[in-house]
Each structure stands twice: as structure tokens, then as C-alpha cells.
Structure 1
Amino acid sequence: MSWLNRTFMNGYYQGVVETAPAVLSAARVEELAVAMTIQHLRRAGVQISTIHDFLTSDIGADPRLVSRLINLSAAELETAQARVLASAF
């Protein structure tokens, strides 16, 4: 991933964190942001290893969380996101 893409994706991740419902715990916000970022980058054709490295090295996301979510299908990622958001209401 180029420097520009890393900067954009860092902003994407931070945007998810900043706009997440305030009632969510930090762990749930991280889960939402990681799931959304994985889904976005996979749709853009970014390799799984690059996504993993970006989230764990650049963002500092929990490696266990990234490993748990990174191999989910698009539908499973959407379900994970919906589950997090549903817990806020």
C-alpha cells in the first residue's frame, strides 16, 4: 500500500472511530473500525497480508481481533458490524 493510501486508510479508520456511537466501549469501537476497514480494503483488492500489517503495525489494532475478523466473508463482516451497532441501541 502506498504512502498516500496508508494516509487515506488511517483517516478512514479514525473516521469510523470518531463517528461510532458514544455508548460503545473502546473494544467495540475497535471491532467496528477493524471490520469496516478490512471490508473496505478487500473490496479495493488489497492483499490480506497487507491489510493485516496495516491494521496491526500502522494502526496498532489488537492482533487477535484482526486475525479473528480478517478471514470472514463480506457477509460475515457486515453481520459483525451490525452486531456491534445493534449493541449501541
Structure 2
Amino acid sequence: MNKVFMTGYYQGVVEVAPAALSAAKVEELAVTMTIQHLRHAGVAITTIHDFLVDEIHANERVVNRYIGDNADQLETAQAQILAGAFNN
């Protein structure tokens, strides 16, 4: 994975996130989706962490909260974030 592709994926999530989400929830959604996508593509966890923190400048606490989650946990977190956008 090159950085341009990874950055584009993250930015794409940010751009299509529901407007009802706060900036913090949009970041959380983008982080969880990026982690899941890149792990599925075989990118090492340390590479994903460093990319999100050093290149994207995502909140390191958010990254650290989700970096060790498996696909089911990431999907659950994403569903909860999106449900919050439509239940308010």
C-alpha cells in the first residue's frame, strides 16, 4: 500500500461520513475503517499505527483504542458510530 492510496481511503471516509456526526466521531469512524481496510490488505499493525498518527495526524488515543481490534470489533464500533448519527 502506498501512502497516497492510504491517505485517499481515509479522506474518502471523512468526506462521505454523515453530516450529523461530530468531528470526533468522523475521525473515529475513519480510523476504524482505515485500520480494518489496511489490516485486510495485509499491512502490518505498526505501519498502520505510524501512518495514522504520523502522516494523517489522527488522534493517537483513538488509534490506540482500535488498533488491536479484530474485524468484528471494528465493524461493531463502526455500526455504533453510524447508529449515533441517525438516532439523534
Deviation for aligned residue 1:77: 0.1
Q: Percent identity?
A: 69
Structure 1 length normalisation: TM-score? 0.95
Structure 2 length normalisation: TM-score? 0.96
Gaps of 5+ in 1: none
Q: Which residue number in structure 1 is paired with residue 34 of structure 2? A: 37
Letter in 2 for 1:25: S
Deviation for aligned residue 1:17: 0.2
Q: Which residue number in structure 2 is paired with residue 14 of structure 1? A: 11
Match of 1:25 among 22, 26, 35: 22
Letter in 2 for 1:38: I
Q: Which residue number in structure 2 is paired with residue 65 of structure 1? A: 62
Q: Which residue number in structure 1 is paired with residue 72 of structure 2? A: 75
Question: Size of the alignment, in residue pairs?
Answer: 86
Gaps of 5+ in 2: none
Runs of 4+ in 1 over 2 A off after TM superposition: none
